Structure 1
Amino acid sequence: MDITTVLFYIFSAVLLGSAFRVITAPSTVHAALFLILGFFNAACIWMLLKAEFLAITLVLVYIGAVMVLFLFVVMMLDINSDKVRQGFWKHLPLGGLVGAFAALEMAAVLMGGFRLNAAPEPSALALQLGNTKLLGIAIYTQYLYPLEIAAVLLLVAIIAAIALTLRGRKDSRSQNPGDQVKVKKGDRLRIVKMAPTVEVPAVEATAAAAAENSKGAA
């Protein structure tokens, strides 16, 4: 048994343990931290498989961005996990059955990969270009349509998330671009015609006459 095999079993054991703690941890923050540990061990396994691009993408995107966002949201919302755990034992048999069925499906798909005695040797083209460039060529040539379908699905999910969380508040002030485009100059400025002369009010005329009389008497 070489060092690569030993490291694979170590990383796999830690990955399985952290994945189990994600669903059994009493605190949501601890569950998110265990998920980060699981992602890190998955990245180490990909490094052992010489998939450097996938490993560094997992570290940068999921651990560096997505999980930080998860922790921020969990700590800001202060989720009460007691209500979430209500009815856990009631739904445990159904959940275990679904999990066992998913595990059997994954085992049926991945069983063929364990029958290889040794990993195939990389071709001369792979050694020359590298796995990152070969991955890009395969994605944008052979798997172009599945990539576009996945992009459309993600776009629909983003729009649905925005539509579900968008709430209008009565005390908020915002501008309507449609009303701004339809506005006319008559709605902004109104010219009022006025007479050229304005009559002096009676009160001011009486005060002016009294002032003149007082001056004449003096």
Structure 2
Amino acid sequence: MQIFAFYLFASIVIASAAFCIFARNPVHSVLWLILAFFNAAGLMLLVGAEFIAALLIIVYVGAVAVLFLFVVMMLDIDFAELRAGFMKNLPLGLLLALVLLAEIIFGVGAWSSAGTGDANAVIGLPAGGPSNIEALGTLLYTKYVFLFEAAGLVLLVAMVGAIVLTHRQRGGVRKQVISAQVNRRPEDATRNTQPEIGKGVEL
């Protein structure tokens, strides 16, 4: 079962990577890249690296979503055309989603059938010991805790830089003045009145 799962995931990874490169539509390239990451996560499960598999799905697919936002912001994509083709491609999208779900279930089943001891032996951990997630977490938050925090700081700076680079000045939009909002007094913002019945409200 593990051999069949390996060849299945590996072939789909290679094929989806090729389609990602040769696709003319950037949105299609992003979708092929997501498919490649899902199948690469299946390969990581087969060798017992469930932490890397989770990273591929959570972090890398999330990064692909950010990449998609960059493509939308920097390229002139016709959203009307995208919406028009959404319902037409909905059955195909649901079919692909079911295939991905079946692949994940198949990969988890193949990984579980190997046993925890065999998975630990593949990645060099003693059989019956802590899993690679526990060992990696212990190492990150003890010996490499400062480097781990530094990596988070670098990612924060990169996120702020991406926001600054993609920020656009649009005409006809009122700019937010932070100082005016901070210095505004409550009595200048609201006014309590007691209008008489039938008199309406004075604007």
Residue 8 of structure 1 aligns with which residue? Answer: 6
* Residue number among 24, 46, 50 corresponding to 1:26 in the alignment: 24
Q: Note the C-alpha offset of 1:38.
A: 0.6
Residue 53 of structure 1 aligns with which residue? Answer: 51
Q: Which one-letter code corresponds to 2:150 in the other structure?
A: I
- For 2:67 and 2:5, how far apart are their aligned partners in 1? 29
Residue 119 of structure 1 aligns with which residue? Answer: 122
Q: Note the C-alpha offset of 1:28.
A: 1.8
Residue 173 of structure 2 aligns with which residue? Answer: 172
Q: Which one-letter code corresponds to 1:149 in the other structure?
A: A
- For 1:56 and 1:183, how far apart are their aligned partners in 2? 47
Q: Note the C-alpha offset of 1:11.
A: 1.9
Structure with larger Rg:
1
- For 1:120 and 1:177, how far apart are their aligned partners in 2? 53
1:50 is paired with a residue whose SS is coil
Larger mean CA deviation between 145-154 and 174-183 belongs to: 174-183
TM-score between the two structures when normalised by the length of structure 1:
0.52
Contact kept? 2:48, 2:122, Cα under 8 Å = no
Residue 17 of structure 1 aligns with which residue? Answer: 15
- For 1:61 and 1:44, how far apart are their aligned partners in 2? 15
- For 2:69 and 2:168, how far apart are their aligned partners in 1? 21
TM-score between the two structures when normalised by the length of structure 2:
0.56
- For 1:168 and 1:78, how far apart are their aligned partners in 2? 17
Residue 38 of structure 1 aligns with which residue? Answer: 36
Q: Note the C-alpha offset of 1:121.
A: 5.8
| TM-aligned CA distance change 1:148 to 1:170, over 3 Å | same
Structure 1 gap segments, 5+ residues each? 81-117, 189-218
- For 1:51 and 1:43, how far apart are their aligned partners in 2? 9
Structure 2 gap segments, 5+ residues each? 79-120, 189-203
Q: Which one-letter code corresponds to 1:27 in the other structure?
A: N
Q: How many residues align?
A: 144
State the identity as a percent.
38
Deviation by residue 1:13-62 (Cα, 9 ceiling, x = unmatched): 32122112211112222212211211111010110011223213322443
Per chain length, whose mean CA-contact separation is higher, i.e. which structure has more relative contact order (CA < 8 Å, sep 6+)? 2
